[in-house]
Chains A and B, each alone.
Chain A
């Protein structure tokens, strides 16, 4: 059972465009939704996170939009830069710190 689904699997945008990464989840009781990014040959690191009390969380060029009714969220990266090229993982805290990850979206930003 895949509790966290991400799409697309791979995304290519031009520098300056907005990249949109999608995530959906199964259980409406999940209450913490972090996004992690991972650069080649490095370990994942926390990028930004949201709780269901909010429908939007912004940090610079990175914004999470959250739709609790549809159990969907998306990560928008505005003014994409080549240095944003990485794999982005949507994750959920399913129950008392059991953190589950999606399969990831590979983002390529072309100069």
Chain B
């Protein structure tokens, strides 16, 4: 099973500050994803990637940037954090190439004060 590691596990940020959430996967999966989970909204897709150097906008990309510098790493960047971005963020990876399964990390709880 794919190992997806997120860091940090918890983060408290100030409004207007820059926040970077990191994700690393060790199973050589092509696709990586960032979701946020909020009560009443389920899991909403922010950005995803098909491989190193690629990023695609999901359904709620505003206020977020993504970076995929390598096959293993996928970062989510909040340039100017706002309280509305307080949430639990999940990174996931997937093999691609006909295999649509997703493997999730343990999540990052972000609080923007």
- Do A and B pair up? The answer is yes
Listed in ascending order, the chain A residues whose CB lies under 8 Å from chain B are 6, 32, 34, 36, 42-46, 49, 89, 93, 96-104
A98 partner residues in chain B, CB cutoff 8 A:
45, 48, 56, 58
Listed in ascending order, the chain B residues whose CB lies under 8 Å from chain A are 31, 33, 35, 40-45, 48, 50, 56, 58-59, 90, 94, 96, 100-107
B106 partner residues in chain A, CB cutoff 8 A:
42-43
- Complex alpha-carbon distance, A32 and B59, angstroms: 19
Q: Are A43 and B107 in contact (CB under 8 A)?
A: yes
Q: Are B41 and A103 in contact (CB under 8 A)?
A: yes
A89 to chain B, nearest CB (A): 6
Q: Are A97 and B42 in contact (CB under 8 A)?
A: no
Checking A97, A101, A104 against B100 with a beta-carbon cut-off of 8 angstroms, the contacting residue is A97
Q: Given contacts A97-B48, A98-B56, is CB(A103)–CB(B105) below 8 Å?
A: no
Instruction: Report the nearest B residue to A102, measured CB to CB.
Output: B42
Interface of A is mostly: strand
Interface of B is mostly: strand
- Top 7 nearest A-B pairs (CB, nearest first) are A103-B42, A43-B104, A101-B43, A104-B42, A32-B100, A93-B100, A97-B31
- Complex alpha-carbon distance, A66 and B104, angstroms: 26
Known A97-B94, A104-B42, A104-B43; further 12 A-B contacts with Cβ < 8 A: A34-B102, A42-B106, A44-B104, A45-B104, A89-B42, A93-B100, A96-B50, A98-B48, A100-B45, A100-B59, A101-B43, A103-B41
B105 to chain A, nearest CB (A): 6
- Complex alpha-carbon distance, A49 and B40, angstroms: 23
A93 partner residues in chain B, CB cutoff 8 A:
100
B48 partner residues in chain A, CB cutoff 8 A:
97-99
A107 to chain B, nearest CB (A): 14
A46 partner residues in chain B, CB cutoff 8 A:
101-103
- Complex alpha-carbon distance, A96 and B92, angstroms: 16
Q: Given contacts A43-B90, A89-B42, is CB(A101)–CB(B104) below 8 Å?
A: no
Instruction: Report the nearest B residue to A97, measured CB to CB.
Output: B31
- Complex alpha-carbon distance, A104 and B100, angstroms: 19
B88 to chain A, nearest CB (A): 9
